[in-house]
C-alpha cells in the first residue's frame, strides 16, 4: 500500500505515435495524452516531474532514425522532480528532490552493460519516459538532486552527464594539466564534457562551425577553439596549442566520427586517446598504420553505468557545476517548440520543459 494516500489517478504525457500522415522524410507524432497512473508496487515510487530535458535522441526517434522505437511509449529520457508517494511505508525518499536514472541494464560494470541496455523514452523495451507529469519508477533508479541545482538544471544533467563522464574521465582518463580537444561544442554532452574537464584542471580546446559558440566556450573556461569548417583546422589548432605553450593534445573527445583520428593524429601525443561517443558526421572512423605506430588509441564510448552517473554527480556536487541550459519552455504543450529548436541546431546547451510552473527557476552557472 502506498505511503501517501492522495495520488492522482491519471496524468498527461507526451506519447510517441506513428505519423498519422505519410511524409518524406518521416516524422512521427508526439501526442499529449491523458494516461492512468499505475498503482505502486513495493520498491516503486511516484515522482512528480517538475522539468524534463530534450536530447537529440528524441528528435531522431521521431525521424525514425533510432533503433528500438516503441509507438505508444512516453518520450523523454531526462527528468527531475519530487518523490510524492512510495510503495514502501515511511520511505526516506518521500518529499525528496530527485532525478531519474535515464537507462537500464548497466549498473556498475566498469567495461560494459551487464544485461540488455536501453535508454528511457520512446522505446519498445520500456514505455516509461520523462515527458510526463508523473512517473512510476523503481526507487533505486532515482538519484538525489544536489542542493545547488534547481529542477530545470537537474533535468538537464543525467544523459549528458553519464555520457560525458564516461567519455572524459573513464575512457579518456583526463587528468589535471592534460590538453583536451572537444569537437562540436554547443551540444549537451560536449558542454558537460567541457565543464568536467575544466573542473578537473585540464586545458580544453574546442571546435565548432559557429564562432559565437566558440566564444561562449571560452567564457566557460576553454583555452580557445577553431572552426571545423576550415579545411586546415588541425593546423590552426596546432598553432593555438603552440601559442599556449603546449606540444600536443593528450585526449580528443569526439561526436562526429569520420576521419577525426587522421585529422588529429599529427597533434595528438604518442599513446594519446581519441574517444568517440557519436558519429554525427560519418558512421565510420578511419584508423591507419600511422596511428598504430604512434600507439594512439581509438575508443568507442556510449552512455555509461548507473555508477558512472553517481560518480559524475558527486563530482558535480564537489565542484558546484551547473549544466548549461539554452532554452526553458513552459508546459508539455510547448514540446513541439523544443523539437523545432533541436531541428535548427543553433542552441547552446540543453532545451528543457518546465512542467510545474511554480518549480524553482534558475541558479547562476558555475564551473
DSSP character string of 12-64: EEEEEE--SS--SS---EEEEEEEEPPPPPTTEEEEEEEEEE--HHHHHHHTT
Cell numbers at 30, concatenated = 508526439
Measured N-to-C along each axis, helices 306-319 and 188-200 cross at an angle, to the nearest 10 degrees, of 60
150-159, 244-253, 341-350: which has the minimum mean pLDDT? 341-350
Residue 56: which pLDDT band, with cuts at 50, 70 and 90? very high
- Asked whether 301 and 193 are in contact (CB, 8 A), the reply is no
* pLDDT digits 0-9 by tens, 162-189: 999 999 999 999 999 999 999 999 988 9
Mean pLDDT of the chain: 93
Beta strands in 140-267 (DSSP E): 142-144, 179-182, 203-208, 224-227, 249-254, 257-258
Residue 359: per-residue pLDDT: 54
Residue 7: per-residue pLDDT: 81
Asked if residue 1 has pLDDT above 50, the reply is no
Task: Say which residue, 171 or 283, is predicted with more confidence.
Answer: 171
Average pLDDT over residues 116-132: 96
User: pTM for the whole thing?
Assistant: 0.93
* pLDDT digits 0-9 by tens, 335-365: 999 999 999 988 999 999 999 865 554 444 4
Residue 279: per-residue pLDDT: 85
Average pLDDT over residues 85-92: 94
Nearest to 135, CA basis, from 8, 237, 227, 323:
8
Average pLDDT over residues 128-151: 97
Task: Say which residue, 363 or 21, is predicted with more confidence.
Answer: 21
* pLDDT digits 0-9 by tens, 294-320: 999 999 999 999 999 999 999 999 999
Residue 281: which pLDDT band, with cuts at 50, 70 and 90? confident
Residue 20: per-residue pLDDT: 87
Percentage, residues of the chain above pLDDT 90 = 88
Amino acid at each position: 500500500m502506498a505511503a501517501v494516500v492522495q495520488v492522482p489517478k491519471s496524468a498527461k504525457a507526451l506519447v510517441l505515435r506513428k505519423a498519422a500522415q505519410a511524409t518524406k522524410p518521416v516524422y512521427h507524432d508526439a501526442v499529449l495524452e491523458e494516461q492512468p497512473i499505475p498503482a505502486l508496487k513495493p520498491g516503486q515510487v511516484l515522482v512528480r516531474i517538475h522539468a524534463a530535458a530534450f536530447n537529440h535522441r528524441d528528435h531522431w526517434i521521431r525521424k525514425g532514425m533510432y533503433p528500438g522505437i516503441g509507438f505508444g511509449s512516453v518520450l523523454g529520457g531526462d527528468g527531475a522532480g519530487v518523490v510524492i508517494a512510495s510503495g514502501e511505508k515511511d520511505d526516506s525518499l518521500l518529499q525528496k528532490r530527485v532525478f531519474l536514472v535515464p537507462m537500464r541494464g548497466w549498473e556498475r560494470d566498469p567495461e560494459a552493460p551487464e544485461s540488455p541496455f536501453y535508454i528511457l523514452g520512446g522505446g519498445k523495451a520500456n514505455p516509461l519516459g520523462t515527458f510526463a507529469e508523473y512517473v512510476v519508477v523503481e526507487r533505486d533508479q532515482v538519484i538525489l538532486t544536489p542542493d545547488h541545482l534547481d529542477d530545470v538544471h537537474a533535468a538537464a544533467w543525467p544523459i549528458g552527464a553519464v555520457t560525458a563522464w564516461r567519455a572524459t574521465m573513464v575512457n579518456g582518463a583526463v587528468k589535471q594539466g592534460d590538453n583536451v580537444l572537444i569537437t562540436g561544442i554547443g551540444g549537451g554532452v560536449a558542454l558537460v564534457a567541457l565543464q568536467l574537464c575544466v573542473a578537473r584542471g585540464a586545458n580544453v580546446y574546442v571546435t565548432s562551425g559557429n564562432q559565437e559558440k566558440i566564444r561562449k566556450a571560452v567564457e566557460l573556461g576553454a583555452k580557445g577553439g577553431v572552426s571545423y569548417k576550415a579545411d586546415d583546422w588541425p593546423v590552426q589548432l596546432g598553432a593555438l596549442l603552440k601559442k599556449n605553450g603546449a606540444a600536443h593534445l593528450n585526449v580528443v573527445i569526439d561526436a562526429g566520427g569520420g576521419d577525426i583520428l587522421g585529422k588529429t593524429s599529427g597533434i595528438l601525443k604518442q599513446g594519446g586517446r581519441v574517444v568517440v561517443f557519436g558519429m554525427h558526421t560519418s558512421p565510420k572512423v578511419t584508423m591507419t598504420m600511422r596511428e598504430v605506430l604512434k600507439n594512439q588509441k581509438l575508443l568507442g564510448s556510449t552512455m555509461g553505468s548507473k555508477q558512472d552517473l553517481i560518480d559524475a554527480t558527486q563530482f558535480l556536487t564537489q565542484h558546484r557545476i551547473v549544466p548549461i541550459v539554452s532554452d526553458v519552455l513552459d508546459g508539455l504543450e510547448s514540446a513541439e517548440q523544443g523539437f523545432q529548436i533541436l531541428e535548427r541546431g543553433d542552441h547552446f546547451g540543453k532545451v528543457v520543459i518546465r512542467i510545474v510552473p511554480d518549480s524553482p527557476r534558475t541558479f547562476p552557472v558555475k564551473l
